[in-house]
Amino acid sequence: MKAWANIMIFMLFLLSLGKVKAQVITEDVSAMEKPVTLAPMCIYEGDTIPYFTLPTVHIFKPLYFKNNQERQKYTKLVRDVKKVLPISKEVRKAVIETYEVLQTLPTEKARQEHIKAVEKSIKKQYTPIMKKLTFSQGKLLIKLVDRQTNSTGYELVQAFMGSFKAGFYQAFAALFGASLKKEYDAEGDDAMTERVIILVENGQI
Q: What is the rounded average pLDDT for all residues in the chain?
A: 78
Q: How far apart are CA 19 and CA 39, in angstroms?
A: 32
| Cα–Cα distance, 105 to 121 (Å, whole number) | 20
* Pairwise CA distance, residues 205 & 199, whole Å: 6
Encode pLDDT of 139-164 as tens digits.
Answer: 898 899 899 988 888 888 787 778 88
What pLDDT does residue 27 have? 42
> Which range (10-19, 31-40, 132-141, 151-160) has the least confidence?
10-19
Q: What is the per-residue pLDDT across 82-141, written as a single tens digit (0 to 9) for each?
A: 999 998 888 788 777 777 877 888 888 888 887 777 666 666 666 777 778 888 888 898
Enter the pTM of the model: 0.71
Region 164-172: mean pLDDT is: 83
Q: What is the C-alpha to C-alpha distance for residues 169 and 90, in angstroms, rounded to an integer?
A: 21
pLDDT reported for residue 112: 80
